[in-house]
Structure formats: structure tokens, C-alpha cells
């Protein structure tokens, strides 16, 4: 399934989903007793608590064109770095991170996992959030969506109360809804409503439009290429490719952030790390952080 050039650590991390393809919904829901279950039966769930950006991307598969290069920040031109700030996204999979080294390597922004579903909190979030801030990395939090656990509004509330808040301090980005991999048995109309409920609650709690992280295949399949969020939310598209530009989901006119690789290398992070690019210069990145025109 994977080219040999993709590292073992990355393969093990991403294959979390492949290992649970045969897991029964009954077993999963039994392990999660006490959570809301009046939702459609999940069709291919990630084990609860193990979600992270990209875990569903290989499962989804239709967009997956592996970039076999080992990407280093120094391989890009100075002009490219100035025009399109580089970022990373992280979770507990990366372990302890030296954020001063990350910033010195030229990384300007990062989103880090804060929550998942209705109860799970990433154990590395607090350290990452504070240490990235102290190192001068413009950072934000993300929530791994679990429509099999509860409705979107409840998860937005949980996220906003556990890392997803926002303040205008020149270093805090709006929160991200990470939704990928499985349609969880939802119809396209029901999934659209789930996303809209999350958006409305997050907006009411923080005053910010949530960023949506997804892949073209997921969005097109699970929402029907819905255009209802295009005027409300910045798009963070997952498309791991060496192409000059990503493919974006139907329903969105453009991308704001592009996750272009899962096998990047950055000083201060042990092993592979997801690499991201911002669609604009640093002034636009700061405008997104500070909610200015």
C-alpha cells in the first residue's frame, strides 16, 4: 500500500485506521458507553482518542498520491518562504517538541490537537500550546471530529472549553475542525447539518469562524461537494502531492492552508511531521490570526 520511502513511524501512525477496518461498531460503542449514541452507526471508525490530522486521508484514499520526497525546510527558496509561510501540525504522535528549534528552522505557524469527540484531550496539547507561543510560533488548536459520538454543537462546546478558545494577541489562530476518513453512516444532508452545528456553536463561543480541515474526496463524498461553508470558513485542504498546487473540494473556490506532506522533517521534531503551507504572505497569516481585514 505504501512506497518503501515512507518511514516506518509514519506508516505505523497512518495505518492506525487500516488496523481497525474490521472493528465492529458494536465493540466501539460498547467501549464508549456513557457518550451520546443516538447517531448513525459509524462505518469505519478510528479508535477513540487516536485521531489526528491525516489518519483518515489514507483510509479515504481517493486523493492519495504519495510524495516520496523527504521534505526539509531548507529545500525551498527564500522567495517561496516569504510568499507562503510554512507550518506544521502536530499531536501526541510527535511526542516532546523543541519549539525554539522549530521556529529557528523557519516554521511560522502550527496547529496542534487539543480534543477529540466529546471527552478526549490530547496529553501534549498544553505543553505544545504554551511552548509554541513562547517561541514565537503563531499557533492554534484543532478538534478531531467524531460524529459517531455526538452532534456537532456538543463537540464544538467541548473544543472551545478545552483549548479551542481564541484571543487577539498576534500569535493565536482560530480553531480547526478536522473532519476526514469516514462518513460515519451519515447522509450528505445530515453531515452538512453536523458541520453547520459545529460551526455555529464555535462561532457563538469564540467569535471566530472555524477553519475546516478535510480532503477533496471526503468533502465531495460525505457532504456532496457542499458550497454552504465556502463563504464562512477558511479551507485547510489535505493533498499529499509534489504538485505545485493542491486539488480542492467541490464547493470551495480556494484554499487557505495546504497540508502537502505527511513525511516532512523539521528541526525540533523527532521523526516525520505533517508539513503545511499558507496561501498568502505573513501579513495575511497575521490577519487570519487577529481577525482583521
Residue 257 maps to which CATH number?
Answer: 3.20.20.80
Each residue of 184-204: pLDDT tens digit? Answer: 999 999 999 999 999 999 999
Which of the two residues, 39 and 203, has the higher pLDDT score?
203
Set 63, 86, 148, 178: catalytic member = 178
Asked, for residue 2, whether it belongs to a domain, the answer is no
Active site residue 169: no
| Range of weakest confidence among 54-58, 132-136, 184-188, 240-244 | 54-58
User: Is there a domain that residue 3 lies in?
Assistant: no
pLDDT at 249: 97
Residue tagged active-site, from 180, 272, 274, 276: 180
Does residue 22 belong to any structural domain of this protein? Answer: yes
Model confidence at 51: pLDDT above 80: yes
pLDDT of residue 293: 82
| Residue range of the domain that includes 145 | 8-290
- Is 180 marked active-site? yes
Residue 178 is a catalytic residue: yes
pLDDT above 70 covers what percent of the chain?
76
The residue among 187, 190, 188, 184 whose CA lies nearest residue 251 is: 188
Look at the block and give the residue holding cell 466501539.
28
* 94 vs 67, more confident: 94
> Dihedral angle at the C-alpha atoms of 56, 158, 151, 13, nearest 10 degrees?
10
Q: How many Å apart are CA 139 and CA 23, to the nearest integer?
A: 35
Residue 1 falls within a domain, yes or no?
Answer: no
Report the chain's mean pLDDT, rounded to a whole number.
84
Give the chain's domain count.
1
CA–CA dist 254, 234 (Å, integer): 9
Confidence at 42, pLDDT banded by 50, 70, 90? low
- Does residue 168 form part of some domain? yes
Confidence of residue 28 (pLDDT cuts 50, 70, 90): very low
CA–CA dist 109, 259 (Å, integer): 12
User: What pLDDT sits at residue 36?
Assistant: 38
In this prediction the pTM is 0.84
H-type helices in 184-254, by residue range? Answer: 188-206, 216-222
69 contacts: CB under 8 Å, gap ≥ 6: 242, 261, 263
CB 279 within 8 Å of CB 84: yes
Any domain includes 229: yes
Using an 8 Å Cβ cutoff, are 226 and 196 in contact? no
- Site of grid cell 481585514: 293
More confident residue, 234 or 182: 234
Choose, from 89, 116, 148, 272, the residue flagged as catalytic: 89
Q: What is the pLDDT of residues 135-185, one digit of tens each?
A: 999 999 999 999 999 999 999 999 999 999 999 999 999 999 999 999 999
Amino acid at each position: 500500500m505504501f512506497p518503501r520511502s515512507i518511514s516506518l513511524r509514519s506508516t505505523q501512525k497512518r495505518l492506525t485506521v487500516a488496523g481497525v477496518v474490521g472493528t465492529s461498531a458494536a465493540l466501539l460503542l460498547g467501549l464508549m458507553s456513557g457518550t451520546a449514541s443516538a447517531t448513525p452507526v459509524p462505518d469505519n471508525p478510528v479508535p477513540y482518542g487516536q485521531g489526528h490530522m491525516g489518519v483518515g486521508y489514507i483510509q479515504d484514499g481517493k486523493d492519495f498520491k504519495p510524495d516520496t520526497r523527504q521534505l526539509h525546510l531548507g529545500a525551498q527558496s527564500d522567495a517561496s518562504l516569504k510568499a507562503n509561510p510554512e507550518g506544521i501540525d502536530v499531536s501526541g504522535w510527535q511526542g516532546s517538541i523543541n519549539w525554539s528549534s522549530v521556529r529557528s528552522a523557519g516554521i511560522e505557524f502550527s496547529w496542534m490537537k487539543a480534543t477529540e469527540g466529546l471527552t478526549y484531550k490530547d496529553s501534549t496539547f498544553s505543553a505544545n500550546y504554551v511552548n509554541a507561543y513562547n517561541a514565537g510560533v503563531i499557533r492554534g488548536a484543532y478538534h478531531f471530529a467524531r460524529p459517531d459520538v455526538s452532534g456537532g454543537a456538543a463537540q464544538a462546546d467541548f473544543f472551545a472549553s478545552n483549548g479551542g478558545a481564541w484571543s487577539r494577541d498576534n500569535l493565536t489562530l482560530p480553531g480547526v475542525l478536522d473532519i476526514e476518513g469516514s462518513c460515519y453512516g451519515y447522509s450528505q444532508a445530515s453531515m452538512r447539518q453536523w458541520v453547520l452545528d459545529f460551526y455555529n456553536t464555535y462561532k457563538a463561543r469564540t467569535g471566530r469562524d472555524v477553519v475546516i480541515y478535510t480532503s477533496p474526496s471526503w468533502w465531495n463524498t460525505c457532504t456532496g461537494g457542499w458550497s454552504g461553508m465556502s463563504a464562512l470558513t477558511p479551507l485547510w485542504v489535505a493533498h499529499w502531492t509534489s504538485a505545485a498546487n493542491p486539488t480542492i473540494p467541490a464547493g470551495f473556490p480556494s484554499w487557505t492552508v495546504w497540508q502537502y506532506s505527511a513525511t516532512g522533517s523539521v528541526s525540533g521534531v523527532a521523526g516525520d511531521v505533517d508539513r503545511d503551507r499558507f496561501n498568502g504572505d505573513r501579513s495575511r497569516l497575521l490577519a487570519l490570526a487577529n481577525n482583521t481585514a
